[in-house]
Amino acid sequence: MPRLSYVEGKLRALIGRTAKPQGTSDALSVHLRTISYFNFHTLKKATKNFHSNNLLGSGGFGPVFLGKLGDGQLIAVKKLSVDKSQQGEREFLAEVRLITSIQHKNLVRLLGCCSDGAQRLLVYEYMKNRSLDQILYGKSDIFLYWKARHQIILGIARGLQYLHEDSHIRIVHRDIKASNILLDDKFQPRIGDFGLARFFPEDQAYLSTAFAGTLGYTAPEYAIRGELTEKADIYSFGVLVLEIISCRKNTDLSLPSEMQYLPEYAWKLYERSRLIDLVDPKMREDGIVEKDVMQTIYVAFLCLQPHANSRPPMSEIVAMLIRNVAIVETPTRPAFLNRKRRNDKKLSWDTITDGFPSPLQSDSSSK
């Protein structure tokens, strides 16, 4: 392991290359002593030269590999894709700076990083049960009982509450989805992949920014108009909750038309008083407390409200999930995105089903 002064020097030089977010002052501190600087040779050896057998998954940033250090510690190494170096470089620096500034039991823990020539890598603690999408979408033999699913939903909510309300600076993740939720050996969830996260100045109601994220999980006001607040994460959380309960993807074009988009299908079942049909059949066979599952679905509907200001903050969502407060508000029809195809390969839908005015009343914006 390099001497501490050398490690800190390398990390300070690396992180100093990313500008502080506008309006954050010194609130975004970087705790360099919480992470290590790895050389590329060490990570190459740990992952057996990034062998395909060690591939854990792949995202917008690049592939993630299982690694084993000399002391036996298992790690997850996220490797920047070379052909995405310009965007990836920004995401790499943003993620290092952000993840070293925040700590919470429901956020993934960064162990270290590497910047060696053209190589950019992030080293995370290894999560034994990997990512949530592999369980939900049938890529794993693991079955989650309702207690485990509720634990995962609540843990994600608490992680988002920390980012939005309890951290020293307001943070919007922008890409809450099943593949970015990692599970430890006890199926406790940890939110990962902060490459798209944005910081909010305290005096700013929303950011006006180009769309980034995963359409299908994205709030309409952000996907259509580029209006970004923490309520965009809350919308994504609502979609994810429905996925966890139904054990299916939010969009599946192989299904009959009315079932293809999960929030739309869930609302139709609600209108027909058949909401129980949304629940994963295996979980229903195992036995559930129906009122607990129904309450959680109602929480998801509140997260999916068409007006951003109608979605409750994460602190209220957590309280509803642990039944500290009763749900007194009746959800209205969520905002849906049409399934109409576009020629634009980056988008899957082009408009929402119902027009709605901007609920964000502020003249402030940021690029």
Give catalytic residue positions.
175
Six-digit token pair at 239?
């979609």
Are residues 11 and 5 in contact, defined by beta-carbon separation less than 8 angstroms? no
List the Cα angle 18/166/315 in 5-degree steps.
130
End-to-end Cα distance, the chain: 40
Are residues 24 and 170 in contact, defined by beta-carbon separation less than 8 angstroms? no
According to DSSP, the β-strands at 36-37 and 110-116 are parallel
Q: What string of DSSP letters covers 81-138?
A: -GGGHHHHHHHHHHHHHHHTT---TTBPPEEEEEEETTEEEEEEEPPTT-BHHHHHTT
DSSP letter (8 states) at residue 202: T
In sequence order, which ranges of the chain are alpha helices (DSSP H)?
4-15, 40-46, 85-99, 132-136, 146-161, 220-225, 230-246, 262-271, 281-286, 290-303, 314-321
Q: Residue 228 and residue 137: Cα distance in Å, rounded?
A: 29
| Neighbour-count burial for 317-334, b at 16+ CB within 10 Å, e otherwise | bbbbbeeeeebeeebebb
Q: Provide the 10 A C-beta neighbour count for residue 218.
A: 23
CB contact set of 139 (below 8 Å; sequence gap of 6+) = 133
Q: Residue 237 and residue 158: Cα distance in Å, rounded?
A: 11
